[in-house]
Amino acid sequence: MLFKNTTNEFIKIVSKPRSYLGLGALTLLIGLIIFAMKADGESMVSFVTATFEQTLSFNGKLVNGNLIAFIILQMLVVHIPLLIALVTGDLISGEAAMGTIRMLASKPISRTQIVLSKFIAGAIYTLVITLWLGILSLVVSHLVFGAGDLMVLNSDGLVILPEADILWRFGLAFCVAYLSLLTVATLSICLSAFAENSIGPIVATMAIIIVFTIIGSLDVTVFDTIKPYLFTTHMASWRSFFEDPVPFDDILNSIVILLAHIVLLVGITLFKFNRKDITS
Amino acid sequence: MEQQTIIKVRDLSKKFGSFEAVKDVSFTVHKGDVFGFLGPNGAGKSTTIRCLLSLISPDNGTIELFGKSLHKNRSEILANIGSIIEKPDFYKYLSAQKNLEIFARISGANVSKKEILKMLDFVGLGNRAKHKVKGFSHGMKQRLGIAQTLLHQPELIILDEPTTGLDPQGIIEIRNLILRLKNEQNKTILLSSHQLSEIELIANRMVIINQGKSIVEGSVEELLNSEETIVRVEIDGIEPAMDLIRSKFNPKELTQTSSKEAEVLLSKSRVPDLTKELVLAGFTIHAIEPKRKLEDYFIKTIQS
């Protein structure tokens, strides 16, 4: 029954126009970034490298597919949560708003299976968005700009990664980025179980991300104890794969915290939905 | 022979905060019944039906369906129930066929595409199978709801206000459909409705609930004492006609309701004689028709 309802959930997602909003917006944004970098990328990179030119000499093609993919990932991972929440925040509350939750919950499928199938479908949708981001950013950037070494400016300074040492980093970075986005998807599905309309969970998800991000960026000691446990603190941990050496312990810690959030949020959703009186 | 019990509800109670929506509701539905579930707005009908479908958890009481506890055998029981609760809501962005495919997949039975199309034909939506539900009228959605209810061939059908919002033609269609389900397929049907005349026409047993409590339960015929009926007479010269009725039939009740109309309580077997006597006496008769009694009974019961 879980598989059958997951199929149902996926059919519902692919049949809703809003599901294509994320893919369309990503395509448009990545197209714009590639266009802008093609038109003015060299001068932008020169501006960054100017401060190092007294001590370093840069040879080869700095504006290449790897750099563009990195820039795209950095720019968009912050905004994709909204595109994800647009779909996943509607998964339970949308059924309540439409009235179909009555039909669904009076069928011989357990409420746990209903919730889990929605999580699985949400996870698949998030994966599709992440893969689309990966394919567009890496493949199209390489087709337009070609390959080359990757120059990354970190808080510790400039890191230059050889071309042959980059692909695996992108692969793992996308995996961790997916986990971050999955946490957002899980949060919005969880909020969706508490609401009877579609807008509330979507807005609430974004509000939580904004509040947590602000708390994480405030240099106030009172928040220091909670900062390491906020999922927003770990949403940028994909970037650590572009450090040299890679801080695997820190990344593992981020993965554990993100997974813990997912498990906790799924647990809360199951608890709430299993006890919910369906009166809509 | 003892009748097989399909629904057995005992002392059902449910509170929402401090509001007691249902308190000690009990009733029994037998196999093959068309069971009328009556009550004024806010009486607790929908809450009770939602408890039967496991949408709401009762605070107290027991629900047994097909002789098994709903609490312990939820999936098995729900696989044998088809329902429409208040109004059938569908995924508007999907076609009628896709909607049925979605519900068939989780109905607990293997329903083929061919059977889905056949069911759409059965409810008169065969030519709209590929059309999106967002363009459907209320009546079409109601018929699609009935199709969804019957897809997996359930033994028990629960219909909560199935004729709400329908035009007279739609009401007749739903009524005929219910009668076909009872007569041709021997389905057990629990029918909640505000349309008392509908219940009187098609239900064989009923319960009336008010303020969350069940007040009376039994056979419609027995409760309405169907040996007697109120007949509305519309006639020119109502007063001499009433004198004639009084002298020939000595009725328990005879009331003039307007300048041309009167209502008379008679045994059913004497209605033809009444018509005959009035015709023989030369009265111009505009109408002689039995008045539905459930409405009166319902109001009296609720008020008492």
The residue from B151, B185, B219 where one domain ends is: B219
DSSP B104-117: HHTTTS---HHHHH
Residue A127 lies in a domain: yes
Q: Give the C-alpha separation, B97 to B147, whole Å.
A: 10
Domain boundary among B191, B219, B247: B219
User: What is the residue whose two structure tokens read 């409760």?
Assistant: B223
Give the whole-angstrom CA distance, residue A94 versus residue A90: 5
Q: B196-221 pLDDT, tens per residue?
A: 777 888 888 989 888 888 888 888 87
B263 close to B255: Cβ distance less than 8 angstroms: yes
Q: What is the mean pLDDT of residues A119-144?
A: 92
Of B219, B238, B270, the last residue of a domain is B219
Instruction: List helix spans (H) across chain B.
Output: 45-52, 74-78, 96-105, 113-122, 138-150, 168-185, 196-202, 220-223, 238-249, 271-280, 294-303
Instruction: Give the pairing type, strands B34-38 and B188-192.
Output: parallel
Confidence of residue B193 (pLDDT cuts 50, 70, 90): confident
Side-chain-side CA neighbours of residue B138 (13 Å): 12
Task: Determine the Cα–Cα distance for residues A240 and B13; give it in Å rounded to an integer.
Answer: 58
CB contact under 8 A, A110 and B78: no
Report the distance separating Cα B10 and Cα B139, nearest Å. Answer: 35
CB-based contacts of B83, cutoff 8 Å, min separation 6: A106, B49, B53, B149, B157, B158, B159, B160
Q: Could you tell me if B120 and B177 lie in one domain?
A: yes
B239 and B192 in a common domain? no
Q: Annotate B247-263 with DSSP letters as a single string.
A: HHH--SEEEE-SSSEEE
pLDDT at A53: 65
Contact B81 A106 (CB under 8 A): yes
Q: Under an 8 A CB cutoff, do A102 and B55 touch?
A: yes
Our CA-based measurement puts residue B155 at a distance from the nearest CA of chain A, in whole angstroms, of 14
- Tell me how far apart the alpha carbons of residues B175 and A188 are, in angstroms, rounded to a whole number: 44
Pick from A11, A107, A117 the residue to mutate for testing the B interface (most B CBs within 10 Å): A107
> What pTM does this model have?
0.84
| CATH label of the domain that carries residue B254 | 3.30.70.980
Residue A280 located in a structural domain: no
pLDDT of residue B108: 80
Nearest residue of chain A to residue B134 (CA atoms): A98
- For A254, which DSSP code? H
Q: Do A103 and B88 touch (CB under 8 A)?
A: yes
DSSP character string of A80-136: HHHHHHHHHTTTTHHHHHHTHHHHHHTSSS-HHHHHHHHHHHHHHHHHHHHHHHHII
CATH number at residue B151: 3.40.50.300
Domain hosting residue A134, numbered range: 2-275
In this prediction, residue A279 carries a pLDDT of 85
Do residues B198 and B100 both lie within one domain?
yes
Query: Do the Cβ atoms of A227 and A211 come closer than 8 Å?
Result: no
Q: Are B222 and B56 in contact (CB under 8 A)?
A: no
Residues of A in contact with B86 (CB under 8 A): 102
Q: List the one residue out of A72, A59, A65 whose CA is nearest residue A139.
A: A65
Residues B38 and B164 in one domain: yes
Name the more confident of A264 and B211: A264
- In a shared domain, residues B148 and B277: no
Residue A118 domain-assigned (yes or no): yes
| Spatial distance between the Cα atoms of A169 and A164, rounded to a whole number of angstroms | 10
Q: Which residues contact B37 (CB under 8 A, 6 or more apart)?
A: B27, B45, B48, B49, B190, B191, B192, B193, B206, B207, B209
Judge residue B160's burial from the number of C-beta atoms within 10 Å of its C-beta, 0-12 exposed, 13-18 middle, 19 or more buried: buried
Domain region containing B257: 228-303
Closest CA to B15 of B53, B69, B56: B56
CA distances (Å), A79 to each of A132, A251, B5, in order? 14, 21, 58
Q: How many domains does chain A have?
A: 1
- Please indicate, yes or no, whether residues B199 and B280 belong to a single structural domain of this protein: no
- B275 and B252 in one domain? yes
pLDDT of residue A56: 65
**What residue has token string 């009376």?**
B216
For tokens 């026409």, the residue is B201
pLDDT tens for each residue of B66-116: 999 999 999 999 999 999 888 889 999 999 999 999 999 998 888 899 999
Q: Residue B226: which pLDDT band, with cuts at 50, 70 and 90?
A: low
Check B56 against A277: CB less than 8 A apart: yes
Express as a percent the part of chain B with pLDDT over 90. 45
Beta bridge partners of B28: B8
Question: Per the domain annotation, does A102 fall within a domain?
Answer: yes
Does B209 lie in the same domain as B65?
yes
Bridge partners, B34 (sequence order): B189
Q: Residues of B at the A interface (Cβ-Cβ below 8 Å)?
A: 16, 50, 53-57, 74-79, 81, 83, 85-94, 98, 102-103, 105-108, 148
- State yes or no: pLDDT of B155 exceeds 80: yes
B259 and B215, same structural domain? Answer: no
Let me know whether B195 and B267 are in one domain.
no
- Domain membership flag for residue A134: yes
Domain count, chain B: 2
